[in-house]
Structure 1
Amino acid sequence: MPGPDHAVFVQGNELDGNTIHVFARGDDCKLSPSGTYTTGGKGGDQVDASTDSLASQGSLVYDDASGMLLAVNAGSGTVTSFLVEGQQLKDRRVVDSGGEFPASIAVHGRIAYVMNAGGEGSVQCFRITGKGLKPLQGSHRSLGLDNEDIPLFSSSPGEVEFTPDGRNLAITTKSNNTVEVFPMKRNGLPAVAEPVVNKSAGEVPFAVSFDGTGKRMLVAEAEKSTVTTYQVKRDGKLRILQ
């Protein structure tokens, strides 16, 4: 993950102690090791995960506005924040993720949502403050899944992501083949108790991105390496565009 001042961050996800590896990026794009920092938590390994232990996107996020790097500790059920100063990580703070096996983080403005992939699955909101992440009361929402605390690789949710305008929060669920959306209030709380469940156009929806206009959501589907483009409506319903 690129950061400021020609820095690149990589999460190790080590089971006995998660680490962040920092690399200096030269003008020729070559990387050189710059430091390793412990997160204060443990990495995680999903059941039957052959190569991608977290089976998710967005487990490490740099927030340019606050200058913070946010990392999940799936094996500990926690999230770590660092203050980034050039190629150094400082002021480590660790908070409970609000669920089991945190695997993805989405940021919009001064709030961050953490997706917990284990158990019933959930999302939990945190305010980004000068003293790290602070949980937002009343923001926790269940995804209604049926996983163990350490989820099966194929049945865990894949990613949580905001629409660029911050009006909706989308979560992909792989084996359920759904894209679930929470319409959002301005204060950072979900506007509904349960997500709006949209059937995926393709099988095993996994990663989410948006085009340059911010109006088209692209969802990568793992089963056949396909991509579907959607419009996310204000009420959380999706319209297939392509």
Structure 2
Amino acid sequence: QIVHKSNDRLDHDVEACVKFKVPLVITSLGARVEVNEAIHSYGGVVMHDVIDTWFARKALEKGADGLIAVCAGAGGHAGRLSPFALIQEIREFFDGPLALSGSIANGGAIAAALAMGADLAYMGSAFIACDEANAVEGYKDAIVQYGAEDIVYSNLFTGVHGNYLKPSIVAAGLDADNLPESDPSKMNFGSGGNTKSKAWKDIWGCGQGIGAIKRRGPVADYVDQLEREYEAAIAKLNQPRVWGKVKVSG
């Protein structure tokens, strides 16, 4: 739920959350006390997207129950910080629910997120290629076809920096390698920013982790794959590593 003042659907959406008692609400782009209080009124939980510790502290001050560290490489709106840096700094002052977002697309990355101090791994781009996603076919195919080098970080489309698939930018008639900077004070979500092409309809948000997605298929198959990869990663960490004649215990 984008809670920025430019979102003219905010009041309606929050009312719907309260009416149907949505148990978990994710907010971003502006911590709002009144939104948090509305969700808390029926026992709901609020997790808030943050890109640095300043925003993390502000979200907690405004009443968020947990945080989502949106780090470098995350799809859509994203920060610039390494997950190693941001997770460790948040954990210095917050021991509550913490999710990590940014290039997580396989089970090994999930294991790494938990190992560095997150409680949850937060994934999005990889699921766009699943059969159940309501994305257009070209978007799904692009998730499978492209990789990290095909992701562009720009604030042109909404006023806030985010990661997008380069081919979708080119298809919109723009020079993806020379995008102008947008004025953050004029951010307008869903309007397409300063272009006629709209994020997220025409300009496809996407994270850098999509190189791990090799095929399309149902969500169940992908989740099973994530479980196998996660278990394999944990097992590997518990095995001794040997480099030449040097043995290092797990």
TM-score (norm 2): 0.25
- Greater Rg over alpha carbons, structure: 2
Higher relative contact order (Cα pairs below 8 Å, separated by 6+ residues):
2
TM-score (norm 1): 0.26
